[in-house]
Structure 1
Amino acid sequence: MFDINGWQVREAGEEDLEAVALVGSAAILETYAGLLQRADMLAFCRDGHSAAAYRGYLAKGGRIWLGEDTETGCPLGYALLCPPEIDHAQDGDIELKRIYTLTRMQGSGLGKALMAAALAGAQGHRRLLLGVNAKNVRALAFYARQGFETIGSRRFLVGSVEHDDYVLACDLTARDLLTAPTV
């Protein structure tokens, strides 16, 4: 667990899934408001960012780390590792399915702490994969600093609208997972 500047990161359990779902939906709203129709936004959050959806990831061996305010317990961000669902996956890979923080937490170090937790949780795997919107310049720069490289692309459906994603990979065999990623 990390406890820094009024927030902490800890592994989430079943009792935390409503909080995780709330952050997931908030991140989608912040990211796609104005780009999606209301019905698409609501359906995407209902289907992909519900407590039941996260319960399904845990049931399949996924792990979630939750960033939360140390005073109030309010959720601020999370990272989700799961068995790969990306077509580019190979034996020994694991996927960072989601790593989200509320916009006000960007630049606070929370994303770095969530990434460190996910990297530690990925020990024993060969590569850590993720998909990221090709237009998300800030996220692409963050992932590059963490040692990720582009290995492909894919189309990603948000509601009924397709988006271009890059598929990134980080070689876990060549890094010390006990060392926190760089800022």
Structure 2
Amino acid sequence: MGSPDIIPIGAGDLPRVADLAYRIWPEAFAGILPAERIPGMLAEIYALETLAADIAVRDHHYWLARRDGADVGFASAYCAEGRVWIKKLYLLAEARGLGLGKALIAAARVQLGPELPVALYVNDGNAPAIAFYRSQGFEIERRVPVRMGPYDFTDYVMLKRA
């Protein structure tokens, strides 16, 4: 097996991100989000024009995780409020537990501010993600209501100090 790679990407590679999201979300959010909500959320969040605006308007940076020549995950992040914010971090099920999530977080820190704390939002019912972030040194800072399109959720803001 080849070694994993984390590569920064631009707008031209965003279809790869959308493809991964459509493959990852139904499994990752099974039992967390109602199955009937997932297609609409994917269509809204991962529309190519939305992803492109992340880069062009919201100054987000994107990375792909690759293993054995195949895309297996992605992350996006930006700086605000003196923090590196991880906006998206998703891996295919078969790519979890290989250090790729940790490597994606590290890539964001290196590019956006190794001296800054890192923060993210995670659904308060997503026990596997919360456990992963805790294993990486994140702590729950607060619980917040979130509106995504027509949907309401409760998320945790998790923080890893610098």
TM-score, reference length from structure 2: 0.84
SS in 1 for 2:119: strand
The answer for the alignment partner of 2:65 in structure 1 is 67
5 Å matches for 1:133-144?
Answer: 133-144=123-134
> Matches of 2:104 and 2:2 in 1, distance apart?
15
Partners of 2:79 and 2:112 within 8 A in 1: no
Structure 1 residues 164 and 10: alpha-carbon distance in aligned structure 2, compared to 1, 3 A threshold = same
The answer for the alignment partner of 2:137 in structure 1 is 147
One-letter code aligned to 1:21 = A
The answer for the alignment partner of 2:82 in structure 1 is 92
Unaligned runs of 5+ in 2: none
5 Å matches for 1:84-163?
Answer: 84=80, 91-123=81-113, 126-157=116-147, 160-163=150-153
Structure 1 residues 62 and 158: alpha-carbon distance in aligned structure 2, compared to 1, 3 A threshold = closer
> Matches of 2:115 and 2:4 in 1, distance apart?
29
Matched positions, count: 160
> Matches of 1:130 and 1:102 in 2, distance apart?
19
Q: What are the superposed Cα offsets for residues 82-119 of structure 1, whole Å, 9 maximum, x if unpaired?
A: 244xxxxxx31231001110111111222121122122
The answer for the alignment partner of 1:7 in structure 2 is 4
Unaligned runs of 5+ in 1: 85-90, 173-183
Structure 1 residues 93 and 109: alpha-carbon distance in aligned structure 2, compared to 1, 3 A threshold = closer
Task: Could you list the structure 1 runs, at least 4 aligned residues long, displaced by more than 4 angstroms after superposition.
Answer: 157-161
- Taking only aligned residues, the RMSD between alpha carbons, in angstroms, comes to 2.3
Structure 1 residues 83 and 48: alpha-carbon distance in aligned structure 2, compared to 1, 3 A threshold = farther
From 155, 160, 165, give the equivalent of 2:155. Answer: 165
Structure 1 residues 77 and 140: alpha-carbon distance in aligned structure 2, compared to 1, 3 A threshold = same
Identity of aligned residues (%): 28
The answer for the alignment partner of 1:25 in structure 2 is 22
> Matches of 1:120 and 1:61 in 2, distance apart?
16
Partners of 1:41 and 1:159 within 8 A in 2: no
Partners of 1:47 and 1:53 within 8 A in 2: yes
Please say which of residues 47-56 and 153-162 is displaced more in the overlay.
Answer: 153-162
> Matches of 1:21 and 1:68 in 2, distance apart?
15
Partners of 2:26 and 2:35 within 8 A in 1: no
